Amino acid sequence: MDSAAPGSPAEVVPPFEWRAARKVALTGLALIGAAAALGATATALDAEPGALLHTPRLLLLFVGAIVAGAAVSMRPDLPAVWALGCAAGALAVPATPAHWDSFRLFFGVAATVAGASAAVRYAPPRFRFAAVTALILFHFGGIFLATTTPTPAPWVTEQVFTRIYNPYLQFLYLRNAYHFYSPEPGPASVLAFCLKTETGTDAKGEKVYATKWVVTPTRPGDVRDPLGVTYYRRLSISEQTARASPGLLVTTAAEQSELIERRRQHLAIPLSEENAFSQYRLPHPEISRYVIPSYASHVVLQNTKDKDEAARTTVKMYRLEHVVMPVEVFTNARKEPNATTDPYHPVTYRPFFLGEFDARGTLLDPQEPMLYWLVPVRARPNAPKDAVPYFDYMSLHALGLDGYKQPDVFDDPKERERAFDWARLR
């Protein structure tokens, strides 16, 4: 009696026929192929007509990708189904618009995984076991290297991590949090944007601007889903802007002196009390060419009503590095009554100017004297009553107040309303 009973639900429900899975996969391929054809047509046309094809192109692409994925899920035991899935992923790469670069990367990785799965299933069982074992060892080897790469690291570790593991772990986002908290977490960063929109001219014929400050990431403003993915994505991009150029590590003393001398000539905004050269942070070339301009363009388009307003708007971008107060500041507070013990005080932030951009993400002045330099926020000892208890050079620089007025300009309530509200960072 027991031997006649079905062993599992899988023996009761027969698998999909290969013919049905093949039809579904070919249907997905056809939809993705149609999306690729629309993409080629959009490229051949002008900007406006080509843009109209993006919506149907994306609709065909994602429906085709889902259908192709459904075909793989119908018969994952067949190598041919995985091969068709690999073809669908490979075709989806050119079918995706260029500005959807993250999805292009995703489809490329999906095609690679599907192709590897097809090859493994075509191979004899003993080779399958070896391939799966090698993949597991490769994965956990990468995690191990991610924990040992912080400086100082052995030369072999650096070479293997940089040349082999870095792209893999970067895609899976497995290289970020292994050395955050030991021994020092390092400063966190947020981005502040000062948008300036031309609104007309005054009686003297001079242009009049409206200003607006935008901060990202913020909570709860950027938490737009239950898991907070939107917030953490913006946090990740903000931290990416802190990546310094490796060229700074080999800058000669003469170049450093020349760089600092040019900065000293900008007398309106003083240098901070710390080491002068540490106040200059040249971003990594990938960050300065792609991440910063695209983020600036995104902020302009997100905070303007239409194309006309966006065309009249520019944005100055600052990375605010939040310095963690040492414990000694709090333990010595009784000995030094005037010491700042507020961990969110404006002087605990180090704003670095990342450039001024238009709506297209074009850097307006590559020769800006303050570009990539620290724009300090300095303590103001013995500040008068009802006065701002600090000198906010970031707001002075962002608003461009008549070639930078005296730093106490924000004692005026009208000017203070235009300055950056540091309470937003709490």
pLDDT value for 363: 95
H or E, element range at 351: strand 349-357
Beta bridge partners of 244: 283
Higher pLDDT, 349 or 144: 349
Q: Among 102-111, 142-151, 331-340, which stretch is predicted with the lowest mean pLDDT?
A: 331-340
C-alpha to C-alpha distance for 29 and 200, rounded to whole angstroms = 53
CB distance 71 to 82 below 8 Å? no
Q: Is the pLDDT of residue 181 over 60?
A: no
Instruction: Read off the pLDDT band of 341 (50, 70, 90).
Output: confident
| DSSP secondary structure string for all residues of 110-140 | HHHHHHHHHHHHHS-HHHHHHHHHHHHHHHH
User: Which contacts of 101-108 are long-range, i.e. CB under 8 A and separated by 24 or more positions?
Assistant: 105/171, 107/65
Length of the chain: 426
Which one, of 407, 420, 403, lies nearest residue 351 by Cα?
Answer: 420
pLDDT value for 62: 93
Which one, of 133, 380, 378, lies nearest residue 279 by Cα?
Answer: 378
The mean per-residue pLDDT over the stretch 295-300 comes to 94
Contacts of 150 by beta carbon, 8 Å cutoff, 6+ apart: 179
User: For 353-377, b where at least 16 C-beta lie within 10 A, e where not — what string?
Assistant: bbbbbbbebebeeeebebbbbbbbb
The mean per-residue pLDDT over the stretch 170-180 comes to 66
Percent of the chain with pLDDT over 90: 35
CB distance 149 to 158 below 8 Å? yes
Query: What's the order of all strands across the beta sheet hosting 207-216?
Result: 207-216, 188-201, 313-322, 349-357
pLDDT in tens, 227-276: 888 888 888 888 888 887 765 544 566 777 777 777 777 667 888 777 77
pLDDT value for 10: 53
Higher pLDDT, 9 or 382: 382
Whole-model pTM above 0.75? no
pLDDT in tens, 119-158: 988 888 888 888 889 989 998 888 888 777 766 777 887 8
C-alpha to C-alpha distance for 134 and 76, rounded to whole angstroms = 21
Domain ranges of the chain: 2-122, 125-172, 188-425
> Using H for helix, E for strand and C for coil, what is the string for 159-186?
HHHHHHHHHHHHHHCCCCCCCCCCCCCC
CB distance 213 to 423 below 8 Å? no
Quick one: 243 exposed, middle or buried, by C-beta within 10 A (0-12, 13-18, 19+)? middle
Q: Is the pLDDT of residue 403 over 60?
A: no
Higher pLDDT, 261 or 370: 370
The mean per-residue pLDDT over the stretch 158-164 comes to 82
Average pLDDT score, the chain: 83
C-alpha to C-alpha distance for 55 and 32, rounded to whole angstroms = 14
CB distance 395 to 377 below 8 Å? no
Instruction: Read off the pLDDT band of 1 (50, 70, 90).
Output: very low
